[in-house]
Amino acid sequence: MKNSEHKLQRLKERITLLLNKAENTSYPHEAQAFQEHAERLMVRYGIGRAELDAQSAHQGKKQEAIVEEHFEMHGVYRLGQRDGLSNVGRAFRTVTILQTNFSNSCRLYIIGHESDVATVKTLFSSLVIQATLAMTHWWDAEGKVQSALWSDSEKQIERREFQRSFYVQVAMRIQGLYEEESSQAGTGTDLVLVDRKHQVDEFVSDKYPYLRASRNRASRGSMGA
């Protein structure tokens, strides 16, 4: 067996440590190094947990429950956070991300197996802190000079877009890590991840049947659309 509960628990502890370091350093390049290391371990943890759960199912043992949790966003940068974090969540191959928008807040719903949901939610919380710190550092070093003649609204939009870009870069790295880890592990890993996502899709379809109809309508659109 490639993975065990003990091995996965150690990975989880290292992820937490790395995220804490990324949040608490005042050096952006150092924070990025910690963050990228944590992302790689998160992907490995997710793959390992999926493989272990699949093995449990094969042996007739109980599998992880599928759960739904939400993540709230408030403030003037919530739209950038919503779009960016949605991309990050969707980069994980075994969860589904839904969203609801209110007048003064946004909410992302994270649906998946318990360990996957916990990982994504922990990452979201850490990224909000890191994106804010990175934006502040960038603004003090470059943004103020570049935006000297801008209105307050334009400055706010620029800071929001910086945060959105920060999240999108994280999402792209995670997607690349899944491809890298899967290619090294072989096709069996892809099959396990696809099956795990299929279980989540079935859960979502049962709980939100109107989304199934929406997806079916969208799938009949043109390739260009």
Q: What length is written for the chain?
A: 225
pLDDT at 224 over 80: no
Q: Is the confidence at residue 215, as pLDDT, over 60?
A: no
Q: Specify the pLDDT at position 139.
A: 87
Q: Which of 92, 78, 79 is nearest to 121 (CA)?
A: 92
pLDDT at 102 over 60: yes
Tens of pLDDT, residues 29-78: 999 999 999 999 999 999 999 999 999 888 888 889 999 999 999 999 99
Cα gap 160→174, rounded to integer Å: 22
Give mean pLDDT, residues 158-186: 92
Q: pTM value?
A: 0.88
Give kind and range of the element (H or E) at residue 224: none
> Do 163 and 130 touch, CB atoms closer than 8 A?
no
Q: Which residues contact 94 (CB under 8 A, 6 or more apart)?
A: 46, 50, 112, 113, 116, 193, 196, 197, 200
Amino acid at 175: Q
Contact residues for 82 (Cβ-Cβ < 8 A; gap 6+) = 73, 99, 101, 106, 108
